Structure 1
């Protein structure tokens, strides 16, 4: 019996499902495609980064100003003033006093009423004055009669002396009588004139034109000589008497303009001119009085009002003026301003003239023109060369903006 060798037993192989191989292929393809996309996208995104950085840098460097940060340079006359204060006094005033004694018959005018020069203010009972005038006139007539008799006797004595019927001494005595009679006539005539003046003084008249400020007597009162009757002030022109420190007097000159205000007219400015300067200082204050002439055509001002104002001691020509807040100083101590020019901040040296600390402006002699924009705020981050943007209102007023607006209007 032939023995045949059988092949060894082999366990049957179980075949897995066939979907896994295609899935693995798809995964490999997806990973390869994603890697290719990433590698391709990196070079394209790289150029975009510098553009965004430049935009961010540009946005950071441009500083937008507000309306409170800048000021436009104006051109006008700048004045330097010296403050003062004082009281208003009438240029002319009068207190009318009685020259004669008597009873007041009438006083028709009252305080606040206007009067003209020569107008009757009051009348005094003239009966006594008139009788005194008549008495003096009678004494004058008597003196004239005696003088006439003495003159006639002197003529007769002269004739007798010529014929040598009387002595020279007798004639001289007659002539002396004539001289005495002539003197008595002159004396009596003077007394008549005095009585006539007294009669006229019984009618009290205004010596100046003005306004009644005080009536001192009433009708029926008895007046004595030198007793006040009326007070009159002339308000057409007033004098402001102001005290100025002696150290400031060299700045004050006759003819300088003065501007002031008074209580009751808070929004109205009054004007005057320096008329006189007192050469002596006031005791105690060591100040000097300055007299300022003030026209009062509308009679708005009154005597005794307190005034507060200033004297214009110096005035510049029409030139650019810059706010004091815009001024800066370089390391050499020279004045400069930060000016906005074509969107860039520029350090502009300036030469200054007059300064007005009260108004807060200084005259620019050189370095700036009217219409320029300067920085008035203390912005520490702003340095010369920085890019700035003007506010809409200020930018519209620049020459370039106006030119663009004009071109747009033409189009």
Structure 2
């Protein structure tokens, strides 16, 4: 009898164990495939890439290049520089007059009105002259009477002289006739003077313009009764005006006679008018502690009128053409004035000698150290120092080339 032995339980796997092995084999195979594909792609990329050669500069950090904006740089140009002092004030006529009546009388006629141009000597009003003419006739008659008395006195003097020569009369009698002649001559002179005054009064009934200009106001109308010194017309000469400007007393030392003034007037847009300093008031105003500066203005076309408000500036100093720098471009290094120039994309410190400075315009002239056409930093940049690499904006680079 043959006896067969069965294999051990571990040698014959059960169906459950077989199913479990099939479940984990599939993900493992997938991961292996993905790993092989990634390794192949990496090898392909490494084969196609070129190796980067090692250099000493790669280890060191490169200097940054600062890109500048148009506001950071300025092109140096040579121009005259002027220092100005702002001022303002009202325009007043240099010559103006209020025409007054010299005699009493009724206004018979006025020949001009406000806004009309008049010339010196032109008749602008007439008064009733009947009384003045009668006074002239009266004084003429008085002169004629005095002249007749003088003629008689001279005749008596001649007769007395002949009698004295023949010793028919005493010396005292002759002296009396001579004295009568002197008195008669004095009477004639007085009558002649009174006649002249009467004639002047007659002429004063015709009122004339004392200067050429424009009538600004009419004070009397036809038919009004005027007394001596009554105003009749006001006339202003607009060809020469004065700008009365108040300047603080602390700025008066900068003002000199003859300095040029540029100003504008409301209503004329951007048009500039010019004048010159004529006079400076020696006393300050009590309230403002300012001094009046009188500026002469030529106004041949008569566009400017009295009372207009003007605003401008007086040129207190002026220089010839020199290279001009922005005030922000000047820096102090070791007690010296320097500017940062930009040459071939690199910043260098350049010492300069400064001249006239205009705080209002923000400019200062360079007497030495910088030439026209140079490109400088217009403002202080904390990160930009001498030796720094910079890139100019396109507009500034094109201007520098031009």
| TM-score bin (small chain) | 0.7 to 0.9
Match of 1:180 in 2: 183
Displacement of 1:190: 0.6
Is 1:86 equivalent to 2:89 in the alignment? yes
- Quick check: 2:107–2:222 contact (8 Å CA) kept in 1? yes
Between 127-136 and 79-88, the greater mean CA deviation after superposition: 79-88
Is 1:376 equivalent to 2:382 in the alignment? no
The structure-2 alpha-carbon separation of the partners of 1:337 and 1:162, relative to structure 1 and needing over 3 Å to count, comes to same
Work out the CA distance in 2 between the residues paired with 1:100 and 1:42: 121
- Quick check: 2:75–2:400 contact (8 Å CA) kept in 1? no
Work out the CA distance in 2 between the residues paired with 1:67 and 1:248: 36
Work out the CA distance in 2 between the residues paired with 1:46 and 1:94: 97
| Structure 1 residues 81-160: aligned runs within 5 Å | 81-160=84-163
The TM-score normalised by the length of structure 2 is 0.83
Is 1:45 equivalent to 2:17 in the alignment? no
Aligned-residue Cα RMSD (Å) equals 3.0
Match of 1:265 in 2: 268
| Structure 1 residues 181-220: aligned runs within 5 Å | 181-220=184-223
Match of 2:365 in 1: 363
Query: Any idea what SS the aligned residue of 2:131 has?
Result: helix
Aligned residues: 367
Match of 1:23 in 2: none
Match of 1:301 in 2: 304
Query: Any idea what SS the aligned residue of 1:289 has?
Result: strand
- Residue 253 (structure 2) aligned to one of 250, 256, 260: 250
Q: Deviations over 1:145-179 (max 9, x none)?
A: 11111111222222223333333322222222211
| Structure 1 residues 219-238: aligned runs within 5 Å | 219-238=222-241
Displacement of 1:356: 0.7
Q: Deviations over 1:239-267 (max 9, x none)?
A: 22223333322222221111122222341
Gaps of at least 5 residues in structure 1 are 1-26, 403-411
| Structure 1 residues 160-175: aligned runs within 5 Å | 160-175=163-178
Query: Any idea what SS the aligned residue of 1:85 has?
Result: strand
Please identify runs of 4+ aligned residues in structure 1 that moved more than 6 A: none
The structure-2 alpha-carbon separation of the partners of 1:43 and 1:307, relative to structure 1 and needing over 3 Å to count, comes to closer
Displacement of 1:50: 5.7
Query: Any idea what SS the aligned residue of 1:346 has?
Result: strand
Between 161-170 and 334-343, the greater mean CA deviation after superposition: 161-170
Q: Deviations over 1:94-114 (max 9, x none)?
A: 111111111111112111111
Match of 1:350 in 2: 352
Match of 1:408 in 2: none
Q: Deviations over 1:261-302 (max 9, x none)?
A: 222234122111112223333334333332221111221222
The TM-score normalised by the length of structure 1 is 0.82
| Structure 1 residues 384-403: aligned runs within 5 Å | 384-399=386-401
Query: Any idea what SS the aligned residue of 1:358 has?
Result: coil
Displacement of 1:43: 10
- Quick check: 2:111–2:123 contact (8 Å CA) kept in 1? no
Gaps of at least 5 residues in structure 2 are 1-32
Query: Any idea what SS the aligned residue of 2:257 has?
Result: coil
Work out the CA distance in 1 between the residues paired with 2:56 and 2:133: 117
Work out the CA distance in 1 between the residues paired with 2:56 and 2:125: 101
Query: Any idea what SS the aligned residue of 1:100 has?
Result: coil
